[in-house]
Amino acid sequence: MPFVSSNAAESESAEEPSRSNAARSEERRGVALAFAAFLIWGLFPIYFDLLRDVPPLVTLAFRAVFTSVLLLPLVLWRGKGPAILATLRRPKYVVGLAITMAATAASWGLFIWLIAVDRTLYCSLGNYISPLANVVFGALFLRERARFLSGVAIFLAFVGVAAFALGVGRLPWESVVVAAVFPIYSILRKAMDVDSTTALTIETLFSLPFAAAYIVYVGYWGVSSRPAWATDPYSLTLLVGAGALTAVPLLLFGSAARRAKLSTLGLLQYLTPTGQFLCGAFLFREPTTVYQWVSFAFVWVALVLFSVDLCRAEKSNRSDQEAEGDATRPEPPADSA
């Protein structure tokens, strides 16, 4: 049996605070990156409102093309080329990522359209309840058991959606679709053993030829006279910027997810719908009713309960892991005389 001296033990003990400080520093960096990513996503309506006179499909196509142009060189520089090629050799993953690409494109197209038709609040409501929709889809399709507080939160969210429907006189299908897209995307992605950066790159590459062909056809080739956006430098600059702008929070979040705690990310994600809500209600002054304010109040209470439940669950899991680690950690050898 190898002998461990007391000096070696003291050295290891001295290294622990330094490792702990490094971990805390990385976590703080992850929180800052996540905060920036969710804040940018939340303020997107301000940028896309400048493009309301451009057809939403054209904006969507420019976003796809120039996100790819910015993202691909960065991903290759980070050495993801072999992972991308390996994934493309698997037909099951190619089909799966083509489906997730379509889901992402539909989500972005709906978002851009909602901004253009003054329904930012619908988008905000959908993004608020999306984490709760994740729980519902997990229970329905992955047999994940919802905890009690999460169940109460889901019920309150349903009440909130019903109140919103009373206010607008119909089911807010836009909010329902926004809320459902990410859970569907997550379930499809769980079936594939592909890291998020590789998957995102392949999805953007799949959309690139369709988006580029659409821009050329509607703007330069398939029309007798060019539309205003195709000849206006200001519009073209904004359209190109839309692609670069949407790539930035994706990269920030990808870096943050490796550093920040799940519960922290779960809380920070509400910056996005909050930013959208503030834009719709106060900056764009979209029409609202008492029912819609009641709706958001129910949803906010639901999210408080859900966040408390999420934090409790993570704390319980961490305690279990620490207890398991203590039980399996070997006793330090006693010093010999």
pLDDT of the chain, 337 residues: tens digit per residue: 443 444 544 444 445 555 577 777 888 898 999 999 999 999 999 999 999 999 999 999 999 999 999 888 989 998 999 999 999 999 999 999 999 999 999 999 999 999 999 999 999 999 999 999 988 988 888 788 888 999 999 999 999 999 999 999 999 999 999 999 988 988 888 888 888 889 989 999 999 999 999 999 999 886 778 899 999 999 999 999 998 888 899 888 878 877 887 778 888 999 999 999 999 999 999 998 999 999 999 999 999 999 998 888 877 776 666 666 555 555 555 443 3
Residues 6+ apart with CB under 8 A from 167: 288, 289, 290, 291, 292, 294, 295
Instruction: Tell me the C-alpha distance between 89 and 76, whole Å.
Output: 17
- Determine the 3-state secondary structure of 5 from DSSP: coil
Instruction: Output the pLDDT for position 5.
Output: 43
DSSP state of 50: T
Query: Residue 2 has what pLDDT?
Result: 45
pLDDT at 144: 81
What are the C-alpha distances in Å from 47 to residues 40, 42, 153, 230, 274? 10, 11, 32, 19, 16
Q: Is 198 exposed, middle or buried (0-12, 13-18, 19+ CB in 10 A)?
A: buried
Q: What is the pLDDT of residue 256?
A: 85
Instruction: Return the pLDDT at 21.
Output: 74
Name the token pair of 293. Answer: 């304010």
- Is residue 245 within 8 A of residue 71, CB to CB? The reply is no
Predicted local distance difference test score (pLDDT) of residue 77 = 92
Residues 96-135 have pLDDT tens digits of: 999 999 999 999 999 999 999 999 999 999 999 999 998 8
Q: Which helix or strand (DSSP H or E) is residue 250 part of?
A: helix 233-257
In this structure, the number of other CB atoms found within 10 A of the CB of residue 169 comes to 8
The token duo for 135 is: 């729980």
Q: Which two tokens stand for residue 81?
A: 């080329």
Give the burial string for 107-142 (b: 16+ CB within 10 Å, else e).
bbbbbbbbbbeebbbbbbbbbbbbbbbbbbbbeeee
CA distance 64 to 234: 19
pLDDT on residue 220:
86
Check if the beta carbon of residue 155 is closer than 8 Å to that of residue 306.
no
Dihedral of CA 228/233/235/237: which sign?
positive
Cα 194 to Cα 87: distance, rounded to the nearest angstrom:
7
Contact criterion met (CB below 8 Å) for 215 and 61: yes
Longest dimension (CA), the chain: 96
